[in-house]
Every structure is written in structure tokens, then in C-alpha cells.
A and B are shown apart, each in its own frame.
Chain A
Amino acid sequence: MLSEAAKEKIREQMSRYPVTRSALGHALYIAQEECGGWVPPEAVYDVAEVMGMEPADVQSMMSFYVMYNKAPIGKYLFEVCHNISCALLGSRGLLEVIDRKCGIRPGETSEDGMFTLKSVECSAACGGAPAVQLNGMYHEYMTPAKLEQLIDDVRAGKIPADSIYNAVYSADMTPREGA
């Protein structure tokens, strides 16, 4: 399922760490990027094979973390913070806008495959509350009107679907000796 290029990227990540297993987190991001935003079971097997691990071990690790998507997601991922400061200043109204305009509630993907909504814990943007992340980028001081505009802009093709959500950075990391 994973391309040779993706497998090579995983091997490169493995070479960065004193112990190769540390690269598992990044390997899953690489798999997720390759598979359109989620990690299908076949990709779990591939990651396990490249890393010399049991698939169940990979699955167990993956299931712990919320940023590995266990089901297909839309082209645009909305993450609406629902923690204290954002809740105080209007995150519920933002969730209602997305429900009304895109027909989705937290955890759901729109039928046209365009949008996925996650209601997330504090995204460290409390000073700009209420805050939303769209494909990993912050949009702060949101209001229902601004969010409606953002959704319209996405639909009008004004916002590229590129996501930095799965990025792993390694370009000039050099391999080092073992621990």
C-alpha cells in the first residue's frame, strides 16, 4: 500500500534516532500523508514491516494519539477548540455554524468529502479565543460570521487544500551513533 518513496522516508526517520522505534510517530504521519489523511489497516502492516515491528504493536501505539486518523477524513480538517477560554468566548457558536453550513458535527465528515470536523482540547491559542485550526493553520478571534466566510472561501477554491498536518522535518538531519 505505501509507496517505496514513503517507505524510504520512514527509513530516513529511523536513521535519525538513537533507537529506531522512536521514528514510529513520524512514520505514521508519513503513512497518513500518503494515504490521504488517515492510516488504513494496510498501511499499519506496511509501517510494521518497514520498522520490523508487530502490526498489533503499531496499532496499539497509533490508537493512543488523536492526531492519527483512524477513518478517512475530508480535504479540509476543521479543529475547533472547545476548552475553557474558547468555550467562554464562543466555540459552541462556531460548531453550530459548521453544522449548519456543512452538515457535520464533531467527528463527522461531510458527504461530499470536503470537510471533517473535530472538536479538540486546548489548541494553545487562548489569547485569540475562540480559535480554529484549518488543516493545521490557526484562525484566531473567530466569530460565526468570520467562520462562515472561511467556509465560503474554501468552497470557492480560495484556500488551497494543502495541509502541513502530517509534515515531518528531517531534511538535513544527520544519522548518529546508537545509544
Chain B
Amino acid sequence: MPLARILTKWVDDPEQIGIEKAMERGYYKAARRAILEMQPDELIEIVKASGLRGRGGAGAPTGMKWGFMPKAPTPERPSYLICNADESEPGTYNNRELMEKDPHLLIEGMIISAYAIRCRTTFIYIRGEMVLAAKILADAIAEARRKGFLGENIFGSKFSTDIILHRGAGAYICGEETALMDSLEGLRGHPRAKPPFPAVQGLYGMPTTINNVETLCNLPYLVNEGVEWFRAMGTEKSPGTKIFSVSGHVKKPGNYEIIMGTSMKELIYDIAGGIRNDNDLKAVIPGGASMPMLPKEICMEANMDFESLQAAGSMLGSGGFIVFDDTTDIVQVCEVIARFYKNESCGKCVPCRIGTDWIHKIISRIIAGRGRPEDIDLLKGVCVNLGGEKMMDSRSYCPLGDAAAWPIIWGGLKFFQDEFEHWINHKESPVGLPAGLPAPV
């Protein structure tokens, strides 16, 4: 069965947010064992050997990231861990569910991570809009502190660590790790140049690791069950499970934790119940709005893991899985995506600040019935100047520029250029939708 209930095992039980219920189910045993019985470097080796890759979007190996952290931080030069809980990628809502429904899993994961990379102080940077999740986490942190799982000498060891919960205030760019650090320092959320990488010079100029919520939630299981158990799931380069946030035109939208490498067909038709009204599938965005959409023919052959989706011409990204049926106007979807990146560009670098606006203006013009035949090439040109000649060939300061260009040039235009041409030539939607999403409920 491709559906796995590991990180999401207890999310359906409202009592799970309380520490007593969580402990009854074995929570905090992994953290206790890690701190009392294992050396920090041993943990780093376990995570390296597991092949766990970051679940936030880039898919960087977590153990490798940890390995760059100093082995002996000093009070003058402490190390920091930040949990990136600024989940804002359109289509993605699995971090929110984990935090609202199983906060102690994240807290335990953070304790283990903090011990491995030797952090006295850790942060959760939570998206401002997720007020309820912040409240639940704050209560859970207080519970953990009362139990002595956070604070001084936890589990009676010499190790001390604590979590500072920090609310963002509404800015997509702060999910980018360097912009997140600026925001956490009380600045505008502008990305920083890399290098220096955060492990060398991060928060307050100190060595810093930034891990996603779902990544950290894997750690208690990894410590409890071991590397072999973890690697038995998924593929060689994408081991474990991944929670995909399925939305759009499916019968059963929701967060589904599946074994990496499960076929996209299974995810859509078996797990998410198929397409609404039994319509035909048109396209899927597999990894959040910044990843190129794939047309039906490719979707039917693709598997849900890092390599397969990259080979298919998209990426696994954040796991935001948006399904479009055959009533969807792809040009209008692209307009929504372009508007989003225009609104969220931080304005620091010119290609992104100007490019995102141009992309949106051109698509808006096409939908307004004022498109010109040369607009297709113009749009491609702007996308190339912003996101490069191919994927991973960035021209902007941070990945937001790529995120704005990719879904248009490597998704919408690549697979559905005929729909753009239809709009330009006929000044109307190829599927008969009036301009301005959406269709009535």
C-alpha cells in the first residue's frame, strides 16, 4: 500500500496535541535516547546514512547540512537551529496540519536536531497567518518545558536547549532561508547572497541550520526505527515518505503521506479519489506553484519522488499537488501564478522586481483580449531573462525569480502554448470560461 501513516499517524485524534497523550504513544523516547545514549556526531551519521532530504522544497540532504555545523560552538559563537515553518508555497498545507494536530512531533524532532548540531537556542519561524498553529505550538512548548524536555539539563543530561517561537507577518519570501533569517532579525525579509552559507554565517552572523517542519518530524522515527527501516521505504535517492497536499479538482482533497516513488496515477485516482465529476485530467502542478505543471500524458507515467519528477520536467518541491481537470483555463491559472510572484517579489533585485511584473502584465493583457501574436515570444524572453535558459540557471538574487519564471515557461507555455495562442487569436478562453477565475462553485 503506497499510503503510509507515519508522520501523520495520529493527526486524526484531537487529543494528540496534549503531551500526556503524545507520551502515552511513545513520544519523547527518541529524544531521551538520543541525548542519553548517543553522541551528536552519531546522530549526524544516522541522518546522513538515512538519505533524508529536506522536505521544504530544495531537497538538500539533511545530514550533509548538519555536517557543516561546527563541532564545538562557544558561548561567543553559538550555533542556531531554525525550523522553517513559513509554509507559503501555493498548494502546500502539510506543515500547518502537522503543527496544528501533532505539535509534539515537531518539538521532539527539534530537540533531537538541536542536540545533534549542538544548539542551545532554537527557533520556530512560523508563518504569521497560521495563528492557530502558533497558539497550539506555544502551548505544546510550555508543556514540554514543564516536563523538563526543554530548558536546562534536559532528561537530566548536561544538554540544555529551548525553542523561541517567532511569528512572521505575511511575506512569502521569508520562506527562503536567508530572507527568513533577516526577518527573524527584525529586518525586511530580503534574501542574502550565498556564500557565505548559513552554516558558516547565518542568524546574527552565527552558524545556523534551517530545516523544514516535515523534515524535523522525521527524526524521532529515524532514531526509534533506524536507518534500514527508513531506507526500506521509497527509492535509493528519495527514501522515506512525503506528505503531499492534494488540492484542486479531485474528489478527496487532503494531505496524504505516501511512500516516495508512488505513481502519480495512484495518488490522483486511488488515494485522492479521482477527478471531480469524473472529468478528464488536464494537468498537475506536483510540487507547489513554483514548479512547472505537467500535462496528463506525463502525469500518467510519473512517480512521486525527487528524481522522477525532475526527469519529467518538474520538481517535487514542497509537495503542493494541484490537480486541474479539463475545464481548466491554463492561461488563467498562469495569470494567478504570475500575480502571486509579482505580489511577493521582495524588490531587492531588478530581474525579479521588474520581471515578475512584466510576466503578469503580459498574461493579464492576453486575458483582457488585448494579446498580440508577438506576446508569446515576449513572455518567453522575459522568463528566460528571469529564470534562465533552462531550469536551475537562475538570473535573480534568490530562487523567487526562478519560481516566477518556471511555471510559465516550463509549464504553461511548454505544454499549453496553444491555449495562449487561442486567447490571443480569438480573445476568449479555449475552454469557454469568462476571464477572471473561477467557475462557480
Smallest CB-CB A-B distances: 7 pairs:
A169-B138, A126-B247, A65-B169, A24-B186, A90-B441, A66-B170, A67-B170
CB distance from B268 to the nearest CB of A (A): 14
Q: Give A94 Cβ to nearest chain B Cβ, in Å.
A: 9
Beta-carbon contacts of B134-158 to A below 8 Å, as 1s and 0s?
1100100010010000010000000
Binding site for A on B (CB under 8 A): 75, 78, 87-93, 95-96, 120-121, 127-132, 134-135, 138, 142, 145, 151, 162, 164-172, 183-189, 204, 206, 245-249, 253-255, 285, 289, 320, 322, 324, 328, 333, 336-337, 340, 343-344, 346, 436-441
7 sampled A-B residue pairs with Cβ under 8 A: A22-B184, A29-B167, A61-B187, A83-B289, A84-B248, A137-B132, A176-B120
Is A176's CB under 8 angstroms from B162's CB?
yes
Are A61 and B188 in contact (CB-based, < 8 A)? Answer: yes
Which A145-179 residues have a C-beta within 8 angstroms of B?
Answer: 164-165, 167-169, 171-174, 176-177, 179
* CA of A128 to CA of B93, assembled, Å: 10
Bound-state Cα–Cα, A60 to B185, Å: 14
A165 surroundings in chain B (CB, below 8 A): 131
User: 1/0 per position for A99-111, CB-CB distance to B under 8 A?
Assistant: 0000000000000
A87 & B129 in contact (Cβ 8 Å cutoff): no
Q: Please list the residues of chain A having a beta carbon within 8 angstroms of any beta carbon in chain B.
A: 16-19, 21-26, 28-29, 60-61, 64-68, 79, 82-85, 87-93, 120-130, 133, 136-138, 143-144, 164-165, 167-169, 171-174, 176-177, 179
> In the complex, which residues of chain A have a beta carbon less than 8 angstroms from the beta carbon of B96?
124-125
Q: How far is the CA of A66 from the CA of B340 in the complex (A)?
A: 14
| CB <8 Å contact, A124 and B186 | no
A141 CB to closest chain B CB, in angstroms?
Answer: 9
Question: Chain B: which residue is nearest A22 at the CB level?
Answer: B186
Give B117 Cβ to nearest chain A Cβ, in Å: 16
Question: In the complex, what distance in Å separates the CA atom of A24 from the CA atom of B184?
Answer: 9
CA distance A69 to B437 in the complex (A): 27
Contact A66 B171 (CB under 8 A): yes
Q: Find out whether the CB atom of A25 lies under 8 angstroms from the CB atom of B166.
A: yes
A124/B93 in contact, CB under 8 A: yes
Residues on the B chain within 8 Å of A68, using CB: 169
Decide yes or no: A143 and B245 within 8 Å by CB, A29-B167, A60-B188 being known contacts: no
CB within 8 A of B185: which of A19, A82, A91?
A19
Among the listed A22, A28, A87, which residue makes an inter-chain contact with B169, where contact means beta carbons less than 8 Å apart?
A: A28
Task: Give bound CA distance, A133 to B127, whole Å.
Answer: 14
Q: Which residues of B contact A28 (CB under 8 A)?
A: 169
Given A124-B88, A176-B162; 11 other pairs, CB 8 A cutoff? A64-B171, A64-B189, A65-B171, A66-B169, A82-B336, A85-B248, A121-B90, A126-B320, A126-B322, A172-B145, A176-B120
Residues of A within 8 A of B187 (CB): 21, 61
User: Which chain B residues lie closer than 8 Å to A24 at the CB level?
Assistant: 186
Of the candidates B170, B336, B436, B438, the one having the most CB atoms from chain A within 10 angstroms of its own CB is B438
- Find out whether the CB atom of A122 lies under 8 angstroms from the CB atom of B91: yes
B440 & A169 in contact (Cβ 8 Å cutoff): no
Q: Are B186 and A25 in contact (CB under 8 A)?
A: yes
Residues of B within 8 A of A29 (CB): 167, 169
Residue of B at shortest CB range from A92? B438
Across the interface, name the chain A residue whose C-beta is closest to B289: A84
Cα of A25 to Cα of B343 in the assembled complex, Å: 21
Instruction: Check A67–B188 contact: CB distance below 8 A.
Output: no
Knowing A121-B343, A121-B344, A179-B78 are in contact, say whether A92-B171 is a contact too (CB < 8 A): no
One of A21, A65, A130, A176 near B128 (C-beta < 8 A)? A65
Q: Are B206 and A122 in contact (CB under 8 A)?
A: no
| B93 contacts across to A, CB distance below 8 A | 124-127
- Shortest Cβ gap from A96 to chain B (Å): 10
Bound Cα distance from A12 to B426, whole angstroms: 62
With A19-B185, A64-B188, A89-B441 as contacts: A124 and B129 at CB distance below 8 Å: yes
Q: Is the CB of A126 within 8 A of B253?
A: yes
Residues of chain A within 8 A of B87, CB atoms compared: 124
> Across the interface, do B132 and A174 meet the contact criterion of CB distance under 8 Å?
no
Nearest CB to that of B328 among chain A residues? A88
- Residue among A24, A126, A129 having the largest count of chain B Cβ atoms under 10 Å: A126
A37 to chain B: closest CB distance in Å?
14
Does A127 lie within 8 Å of B245, measured CB to CB? yes
Q: How far is the CB of A53 from chain B (nearest CB, A)?
A: 9
Structural contact, B184 and A164, CB atoms closer than 8 A = no
Chain B residues within 8 Å of A22, by CB? 166, 184-186
Question: Roughly how many angstroms separate A19 CA and B441 CA in the complex, as a whole number?
Answer: 49
Chain B residue at smallest Cβ distance from A58:
B186
User: Shortest beta-carbon distance, A68 to chain B, in Å?
Assistant: 6
The CA of A144 and the CA of B333, in the complex, are separated in Å by 22
Tell me, rounded to whole Å, the shortest Cβ–Cβ distance linking B170 to chain A: 4
Most chain-B CB neighbours within 10 Å: which of A85, A123, A129? A85
